[in-house]
Structure 1
Amino acid sequence: MKAIVQEVYGPADVLELRDIDRPAPGAGEVLIRVHAAGAGPDVWHLMTGLPYPARLVFGLCRPKNPVPGWDGAGVIEAVGADVNDLEPGDAVYGECRGSFAQYALAKADKLAPKPDRLTFDQAAAITCSGVTALQALHTKAGLRPGQKVLVIGASGGVGSFAVQLATAHGAEATAVCGPDAADFVRSLGAVDVIDYTREEITDRPCRYDVVLDVAGNRSVSLMRSVLTPEGTLVHVGGEGGSRWFADAGMQLEMGLRSLFRRQKLRGMLAVARRADLLTLNGLIDKGDLTPAVARTYPLSEAADAIRHLEHGHPQGKIVVTVATGGA
Structure 2
Amino acid sequence: MKAIFRDTYCSPEALKLGDIDKPTIGQDDVLIRVHAAGVDQGVWHLVTGLPYLLRLAGFGLRTPKTRIPGHDVAGHVEAVGKNVTRFHPGDEVLGTCDGSFAEYASAHHDKLVPKPSTITFEQAAAVPASACAALQGLRHRGQLQAGQKVLITGAGGGVGTFAVQLAKAYGAHVTGGCRTTKTELVRSIGADDVIDHTREDFTDRPGRYDLILDTAGNRPLSQLRRALNPTGTLVIVGGAQTGRWTEGADRQLRAAMLSPFVRQNLSGLMSTPRQEDLQTLRELIETGKLTPIIDRTYPLSQAPQALRHVRSGHARGKITLTV
TM tier, shorter chain? over 0.9
| Residue of structure 1 in register with 2:10 after alignment | 10
1:44 has 2:44 as partner:
yes
Per the alignment, in what secondary structure is the counterpart of residue 313 of structure 1? coil
Per the alignment, in what secondary structure is the counterpart of residue 191 of structure 2? coil
Report how many residues are paired: 322
| Residue of structure 2 in register with 1:223 after alignment | 224
- How many angstroms does 1:238 deviate by? 2.6
| Equivalent residue letter for 1:12 | P
| Equivalent residue letter for 1:11 | S
Structure 1, unaligned runs of 5 or more: 323-327
1:78 has 2:82 as partner:
no
Tell which deviates more after alignment, 162-171 or 246-255.
246-255
| Equivalent residue letter for 2:44 | W
Tell which deviates more after alignment, 305-314 or 65-74.
305-314
| Residue of structure 2 in register with 1:189 after alignment | 190
Pairing of 1:264-303 with structure 2 (within 5 A): 264-303=265-304
In the aligned structure 2, how far is the partner of 1:23 from the partner of 1:239? 35
In the aligned structure 2, how far is the partner of 1:263 from the partner of 1:34? 44
Contact 1:177–1:196, Cα closer than 8 Å, also in 2: yes
In the aligned structure 2, how far is the partner of 1:45 from the partner of 1:230? 34
In the aligned structure 2, how far is the partner of 1:161 from the partner of 1:251? 21
- How many angstroms does 1:199 deviate by? 1.3
Contact 1:73–1:120, Cα closer than 8 Å, also in 2: yes
Pairing of 1:85-164 with structure 2 (within 5 A): 85-164=86-165
In the aligned structure 1, how far is the partner of 2:76 from the partner of 2:95? 11
| Equivalent residue letter for 1:306 | L
Percent identity at matched positions? 54
- How many angstroms does 1:246 deviate by? 2.4
1:171 has 2:176 as partner:
no
In the aligned structure 1, how far is the partner of 2:154 from the partner of 2:60? 30
In the aligned structure 1, how far is the partner of 2:279 from the partner of 2:210? 27
In the aligned structure 2, how far is the partner of 1:174 from the partner of 1:226? 12
Contact 1:29–1:80, Cα closer than 8 Å, also in 2: yes
| Residue of structure 2 in register with 1:234 after alignment | 235
Contact 1:207–1:227, Cα closer than 8 Å, also in 2: yes
Contact 1:8–1:14, Cα closer than 8 Å, also in 2: no
1:100-152: CA deviations, max 9, x gaps? 00001111101110001010000000000000000000000110111011001
Q: TM-score, normalised by structure 1?
A: 0.96
| Residue of structure 1 in register with 2:244 after alignment | 243
Structure 2, unaligned runs of 5 or more: none
- How many angstroms does 1:68 deviate by? 0.4
CA RMSD of aligned residues (A): 1.1
